[in-house]
Structure 1
Amino acid sequence: MISANSRKRDSARMQVRRYVMDLLWQHAGEAYHLPSNKELADELGIARSTAQLELKLLIEEGYLTAKHGVGTFTVPSKMQQFRAPLIGILNGDGKTIYEPFYIVSLKSHTATELAKQPALIQEIRLFSERENDLATELRGIDCNALVCFNVSSAMEPVLRETRKFRPVITVDMRIDGIPSVELDRREKGRALGRALLAENRTNVLFIQSERYRATTFLGVRDVFTEAGHTLPDECFLLNTTEGLSELLESGFHPQAVAPSLETFEEAAQILREHDIDLNEKCRLATFMFKPRKMQEPVLLFDFPFEEFGRQTAKVVSRLLENPDQEAEHIVFKHNYKTTVV
């Protein structure tokens, strides 16, 4: 088991590494003289031994060089790669360790498109707890722009404060006063609805999040209503399979089911146990991926991760040119492709 003291040392060492990397970026092409180990430890509020340990590692990695009797310096040749703009990537409150498929894919595609500008990408890790301290910590991190994912309501005031000092962009959600890039999720639902009607599947069950119900589900309902079909609220289970068996035992026979990734395999198993034919009579549908254990065919829609990245990169580019421009909120559509896999 990893001890609490070990975790604390790791976070302190990361502060030293971030400090040195910021120097590399700020003083590109220079052999910058670092403060003494004691001065650096005092400035960061960490133990001197911890600072020495990380600085030794950075010397071994070639980022720093130690000159006997003179001090520690950054290595100029290591700085040439830091000529491009530096973009910070922040997930949630900066303390997330484990990330699901959706966030990993969204972040990686966005970071890839940003790096093509070209730009350097910095994964932001935060250690503060209170709102004011988080804002101060973010302000102290060197980057030209901050791109944020999975933002909680508690982080919104922190990002508004941060935007006073550098461009901030949110991806896949909108915060008033902050530039954002979003997908038209209601149109996404319309694409799903059209695909289901094309296969004459009108008895549909959804096991999804509240956000899905307020966006994608309404898009499906739009298409069904236009075609003369009803889509009652009872066919939506809020991201849980609880109640699914009862629904099936009441005589409901779905022709299609759109479960979340979290409930996909469990929902499929419950459907099998109630003798629902998942090969022909009932089709499972997703915008993410087909789980490996899933033997029956799945209706798979391509999700526009790459377009999220391209749209975000365009907004970041405009903000770097004009940081004071008014917040723009991009809502883009996608031409979905479907396959049965």
Structure 2
Amino acid sequence: MQGEPTSEYKKIRQYVHGLIFQSNGQSVQIPTILELAKKFGVCRQTVSKAMKELTAEGYVIGRKGIGTFTNPAKFMEHQAGERFPVIGIFFRDGHGTHLSTYDAHVAAALLKRISLLPAIVQLATAEGTTPEQIKSAVKSRNFDAIVWEQPDEKRLEALQLFTAETGTPVVTTGEVYDGFPGVAINLEKAGYDCAKLLIAEGRKHPVFMGNYGPWLRQVKGFRRAYEEAGIPLNDKLFLKHQNLDALRNIIELGVPVDAIFNHPNLLRNEIFHLMQEMHIDVENECRLICNSLAASVNPEFRGYVYQIDFDQVAEAVVQMLQSAMNEKKTEMVHKWVNFNVIKQL
């Protein structure tokens, strides 16, 4: 048997739920216990446990001498007599059930907007260690379409196999990828716009916190604005990680610093509090920049805020889903959502 029993047990429940929502109000026969055990690579006891609970909860109905069937009444509870598409939303490696602040905001916006299609929406997981296993796990869920936030290389390969085999629409968020329509936030433009504001204030010595990963696009835009203005930057002030001790050392050594671009993951405004501790005037002496999530947890924050429009991301995703599901074809469109930068005093 592959995987943990609890995990495999959940897969069987999810598979049956998928059959119910795909049935369009009809009662469809479920494979036998032996067939399900073979399909999911589990023992018959695991299948029996799942089926007994599904029967007790009214999701399936046993017909003596014939087999086990989905219960149309459960379909009617959710669909009100009309079959809505079922959309699965996955995050990153497809395993996670715990969402970061950023991912939770993405999920909330997607759940709210996609449900108004109307559709049934599920925050889903897809287990497996190989692209083929992940593909099979996704396929067994019988989704009408999928939204995936920042899939890694293994998940991308699985999605390529999945779409080639099923034709089911897949839209990515957070990043855009060849072969899939997708929506991403324009990090490069955010970096550029923030830098232009600093340049307009005459600030020539910025520190950039988070010079790595996807935030390198912000770095690129940030540097481009200063290059266009003919202002050289101190490369030593582009810190690879969110290292407050390194920032403190830079300031204590007397290195000129007149602005700090705060990495989005520093949601507790550690930099703001460090400036207060070191008696640095953040309104005039050293301008701070952070994203709207970080600023929202600190009403005292002063500086520039680049606002993340999660609703605009969700709206773009819905447009792509509608196009793919209505026209029965997927256009490989990539859309970038811009930030709105404001000064918060």
What's the % identity of the aligned pairs? 23
169-178 or 252-261: bigger deviation: 252-261
Question: TM-score scaled to structure 2, two decimals?
Answer: 0.83
Say which is worse superposed, 265-274 or 213-222, in terms of deviation: 265-274
3-state DSSP class of the match of 1:174? coil
Q: Deviations over 1:37-90 (max 9, x none)?
A: 455444433344433433343344442345677654322122133511122212
Contact 1:290 1:298 (8 Å CA) reproduced = no
Q: Is the 8 A contact 2:193 2:341 kept in 1?
A: no
Does the 8 A contact of 2:211 with 2:238 survive in 1? no
TM-score between both structures, scaled by the size of structure 1 = 0.84
The residue type equivalent to 1:174 in the other structure is V
Cα distance in structure 2, aligned partners of 1:262 and 1:28: 43
Q: Which runs of 5+ in 2 are unaligned?
A: none
**Preserved contact between residue 299 and residue 339 of structure 1 (Cα < 8 Å):** yes
How far off its partner does 1:178 sit?
1.8
What is the alpha-carbon distance in structure 2 between the residues aligned to residue 127 and residue 228 of structure 1? 50
The answer to whether structure 1 residue 243 and structure 2 residue 246 are counterparts is yes
Could you tell me which amino acid in structure 2 is paired with residue 302 of structure 1? Q
Give 1:24's match in structure 2, choosing from 4, 20, 31: 20
Measure the CA separation in 2 of the matches of 1:136 and 1:35.
Answer: 17
Equivalent positions of 1:1-341 (< 5 A) are 8-37=4-33, 39-66=35-62, 72-80=68-76, 81-82=78-79, 83-164=83-164, 165=166, 166-197=168-199, 199-211=201-213, 213-241=215-243, 243-263=246-266, 265-278=269-282, 280-287=284-291, 288-290=293-295, 292=297, 295-334=300-339, 336-340=340-344
* Distance in 2 separating the partners of 1:38 and 1:115: 36
Relative to 1, partners in 2 of residues 1:180 and 1:218: Cα closer, same or farther, differing over 3 Å?
same
Moved more, 120-129 or 198-207: 198-207
Q: Are the counterparts in 2 of residues 25 and 79 from structure 1 also a CA contact under 8 Å?
A: yes
Helix, strand or coil: the match of 1:127?
Answer: coil
- Residues 246-303 of structure 1, C-alpha deviation per residue, up to 9 Å, x if partnerless? 3223312433322224345444454445443345533332112326467553533321
Ranges in structure 1 where 5+ consecutive residues have no aligned partner: 1-6
Q: Pick closer, same or farther for the CA change 1:35–1:217 going to 2, 3 Å.
A: closer
Kept in 1, the 8 Å contact 2:295–2:301? The answer is no
- Between stretches 36-45 and 18-27, larger displacement belongs to 36-45
Any conservation in 2 of the 1:163–1:178 contact (CA below 8 Å)?
A: no
Correspondence for 1:4? none
Inter-partner Cα distance in structure 2 for 1:132 and 1:45: 14
C-alpha spacing 1:311/1:136, structure 2 compared with 1 (3 Å): same
Equivalent AA in structure 2 for residue 329 of structure 1: H
CA distance in 2, matches of 1:117, 1:140: 23
* CA apart distance, 1:235: 2.2
Q: Counterpart of 1:289 in 2: which secondary structure? A: helix
Root-mean-square deviation over aligned CA pairs: 3.0
Q: Would you say how many aligned residue pairs link Structure 1 and Structure 2?
A: 335
Please tell me the residue identity of whatever aligns with 2:262: P
